[in-house]
Each structure stands twice: as C-alpha cells, then as structure tokens.
Chains A and B, each alone.
Chain A
C-alpha cells in the first residue's frame, strides 16, 4: 500500500514542476531496517518517483560509514537534501506529518539554489565567521 495517497500524489506532481534544478535525496538506513527507517525509505522512494528532477540515494549507515561521516550523520533514519552542494539540510526520523510540507518546501528551495532570504538579511548573515549552533523549538500551534 502506498504511503502517499492519490490526492497528495497529484498535488505533489504539480508542486514539483516548479523545481528548476536536480535535487538528490540521500537517506541513511541499514541492512536490518528499523521500522521508521523502512518507512522513511519507502516514503522517499514514492516521493522521488514523482519528478525527474528528484533522485534518491540510499546509504547503509553501518556499511557506508564514510558517507555517514561525510554528511555528519550519527543517527538513523536520516535524510539529507543535496543540490549543487550540501546546504546542510537534515531530517531525522520519518519526515511525515507536518514535517512533510517542510521537506517539500526545502526540496523546492534547494532546487532553486536560493534560500529566498531578503538581501539585507543575507548580507548580515554573511558576516557570521564561525560555526553557530542554533536550536529552534516549534509546536504545531
């Protein structure tokens, strides 16, 4: 049974038409897949099937530890969005529920290679000269 229903599938096909460049989704799972790893992989397989510009790369967290290291992945299921470069976007856990809209938004953003920030804010941010750890707490309300 597919995880993405017919109605959303149609909407996604339309939304993904606005992708301008290719996006590769890398997902980390392992040979004996945890339940959520399997769900994540299946969800991403369905999603990447909806646009020619979307590619999926499935990594084995244990066997391909070099890749895990490269993308700084320390837990699974993990999802990495890659464009012409790694923009640092990661999803941990199944990107379902409200996270799914965020995932699609991020795919479109990576595809455009443009974070969509106003110029003045981008200029301010370019002054950041060392790694900064930001944590944002959100609730659906």
Chain B
C-alpha cells in the first residue's frame, strides 16, 4: 500500500484571459484538440496576436485511457498527456473562449468572423480550423432521448457502468470490437449488430472477442429503435434480409459506427469532400486564402494524435507565412 502520488493540474487554477470581441486577431485558432493546441504553440512563438475558441481542451483524446503511440512516451495516461499539452498552451497566456460552440465562420473581405452559438462574434485575419470529429449517430428513434441514459458513444468512459448488464453494440469495425472487448472485461451480456454483412474489424481483435461465450453476433441487422422510460430498456432489431423485427431487453446501447467531421460551421465557406472533410493541400491551405485547417476535420488520412499535432503546427506556420506575404503583420 504505497502512497499513490498526487496529480496537481495547475491549469485549473490559472485565471484565463478571455478573447475580446472588438479585436481583429492575427490568428483565430478554433478547437482544443492536439491539432489546435500544437497550432497555438507554433503561432505563439511567432508573437502573433492570437485567440483560441473551443468547447474543451483535449478533444477526442479524452475518450481513451492509455496512449502508446505518441513519440517520447511508451505509455502515458491520456488525461496526463492532455494536461501536459494544456500546460504548454497556457504557458503563453493567450485568451481562450471555452465552453461555447462555434456556429459559423464567415468571410467579409479579408477578415473572418466567427459566429458563436451564444450570438457573440470574434474576428481574425486568419483562421486555423481544427474542430476534429464527433461520433456518428445511429439516427434511430429513441437514440437522442436516451443519450446518456444508457445510450453511449464512449466505451472507455462508460463500459464500467455495465458490469454484468445486457448491452447492445452497434457497429462492425475496430471500434465496435474494442468496445465489445471493454464490455467482455466487465462480464456484460453482449449483442453485436452490424448494418452490413460480415464484420470489418481486424482479425486478431475479432478472435479475442469471439472466444467469449456471452456474445451474440447479428450482421445485416439494423437498430430500428431504442425504447425505455427514462433509461434504455429495450431495442428493436430488424433483419435487413427478411425484414423480420425482434425486441430484445437491454440496459445499454453503445454506438460505434464511425465519426463525422465537425465541418458544419464552414460548409458554406470552404470546399469539403464527400465525407464532409475540409479539403486541404500539403501546407494545410484550403481553397479560401487565409483559412487553414488541420487534424481530424480535414481529409488527411490516419487520424491520430501525433498526426493532428504535426498538421496543427504546419497550419500555424503556413498561416504566419500568409500574413507576411499579404503584408498583414
């Protein structure tokens, strides 16, 4: 029984400056994941006037426990890595708008205005857009109403709540099987449902899950509805071949059917690809001069922390070059 040590998250205690609505910043960095945080570090060192606008710090990193592929750390707790990133960002004393969502980004001449959900506005000569991705919903009846009441999008966060319970997992890829594995470890009774035929997860992961005896596999099935009074109680599963429907009792539903880019705020401003990702070139430029983008929200493949961090750095440096080239500094 050794002393477990203490964690002192100093960022909790620092008085954060808020961005000002009157100022036209050299650069507005939107987002608080690794892409945005890395952009801040690079931009701040160029002594630009900067502001960060985000819902949170950490982004999707907050959904996992251990990170084992970030250079320099053989294994690090994801929260600890977020705290390290955040401490680095906050060491520059940059104004941050936290907790309110960006609604839309518009351009007026050379100036960009960021319209917030609460009606406020921020302005910048350049924007580095790093809003990442969100979980794709099933869009099944009852899903929205029961979100957080048994419907979950984060196994790392919620699997322990379903110890020995009956759980439905929607999806057939790696994240669905990783979720299944998390639930196997808490001895849940699992039904895995995949919309298409077969299973798309890596073979080794599938094998690990398949050796468990309290799991049922239903491919080519659809979740036609989730029901319950104030919490998940049952779900309707439809066989897509025969159209036959069956009701099954569940305590929880995990939705693991992929991610969608958070590009809505710029859908009328910049070019997006079919998946809704922001189209960029290898310098993180979009088709709109002065508007740069980085990380998971872009078309860059292999969505990973180190890649997002690298892209964020690149976007900030390219935006800096643009400010010089256009004589705006």
* Mask of B1-20 contacts with A, CB within 8 angstroms, 1/0: 10111111110110000000
Give the chain B neighbours of A141 by CB distance below 8 A: 62-65, 78-79, 154, 156-157
Q: A139 contacts B12, CB within 8 Å?
A: no
Please classify how large the interface on chain B is, using the bins under 10, 10 to 19, 20 to 34, 35 or more: 20 to 34
Query: How many Å lie between the Cα of A11 and that of B14 in the bound state?
Result: 11
Which chain A residues (1-31) contact chain B, with CB distance < 8 Å? 3-4, 8, 11-12, 15, 18
Given A97, A104, A105, A137, which contacts B5 in the complex, CB threshold below 8 Å? Answer: A97
**A100 interface contact, C-beta 8 A:** yes
Given B9, B65, B77, which contacts A101 in the complex, CB threshold below 8 Å? Answer: B9
Instruction: Report the nearest A residue to B62, measured CB to CB.
Output: A141
Give the chain B neighbours of A110 by CB distance below 8 A: none
**B76 interface contact, C-beta 8 A:** no
Q: A105 contacts B12, CB within 8 Å?
A: yes
Least CB distance from A37 to B in Å reads: 11
Instruction: Report the nearest B residue to A4, measured CB to CB.
Output: B6
Give the chain A neighbours of B8 by CB distance below 8 A: 8, 11-12, 100-101, 104
Give the chain B neighbours of A35 by CB distance below 8 A: 1
Query: How many Å lie between the Cα of A15 and that of B14 in the bound state?
Result: 9
Give the chain A neighbours of B12 by CB distance below 8 A: 101, 105
A-side interface mostly: helix
Q: B160 contacts A108, CB within 8 Å?
A: no
Query: How many Å lie between the Cα of A8 and that of B157 in the bound state?
Result: 28
Q: A108 contacts B7, CB within 8 Å?
A: no
Q: A94 contacts B3, CB within 8 Å?
A: yes
Least CB distance from B91 to A in Å reads: 13
Give the chain A neighbours of B65 by CB distance below 8 A: 141
Give the chain B neighbours of A137 by CB distance below 8 A: 161
Q: B13 contacts A104, CB within 8 Å?
A: yes
Q: A96 contacts B63, CB within 8 Å?
A: no
Give the chain B neighbours of A108 by CB distance below 8 A: 13
Query: How many Å lie between the Cα of A101 and that of B8 in the bound state?
Result: 5
Given B3, B78, B154, which contacts A96 in the complex, CB threshold below 8 Å? Answer: B3
The 6 closest A-B pairs by CB, nearest first: A100-B6, A101-B9, A96-B4, A35-B1, A15-B13, A8-B8
Give the A-binding residues of B (Cβ under 8 A): 1, 3-10, 12-13, 62-65, 77-79, 154, 156-157, 160-161
Besides the known contacts A3-B3, A96-B6, A139-B157, 7 further A-B residue pairs in the complex with CB atoms under 8 A apart:
A3-B6, A96-B5, A101-B12, A105-B13, A108-B13, A141-B62, A141-B154
